[in-house]
Amino acid sequence: MNKIHLYDKIISPVVTEKSTNLSEFNKIVFKVPFSSNKKTLKKNIEKIFKVNVTKINIVNKKSRLKFTRGRKVKVQGYKKAIITLKKGQSIDLTTGI
């Protein structure tokens, strides 16, 4: 598989307070396209970062309406993957992909 296709399955890492706390339990959170599934994500992440993935949880965030300055604004939904790595392994998100 070409390197370009490997990176197509990961949009960006999710860096929030909650996802940073999950890193203590060898978990990393990525924003992924709606077309991705667990099998392809596991293969791609193991090839890109050279780590062993033990479990993947996928969460679909639905789009919603939000009021901003008295107007309705649509907040775009996305799909995120919570990836559990083998004990003792980690991915450094501060370096560029």
Asked whether residue 31 carries a pLDDT value surpassing 60, the answer given is yes
First to last CA, the chain: 17
Q: Which phi and psi angles does 79 have, rounded to 5°?
A: -115, 135
Is-contact 93 28, C-beta < 8 A?
Answer: yes
Residue 4 confidence (pLDDT): 65
| C-alpha–C-alpha distance, residues 64 and 15, integer Å | 21
Total-model pTM: 0.84
Domain positions in the chain are 3-85
Please, which pLDDT band fits residue 95 given cuts at 50, 70 and 90?
low
* pLDDT 10s digits, 74-86: 999 999 999 999 9
Please give the class, per CATH, of domain 3-85.
alpha beta
Q: Do 80 and 58 form a contact (C-beta atoms < 8 A)?
A: yes
Q: Tens of pLDDT along 35-93?
A: 999 999 999 999 988 999 999 999 999 999 999 999 999 999 999 999 999 998 888 87
Which residue matches tokens 């050279």?
Answer: 50
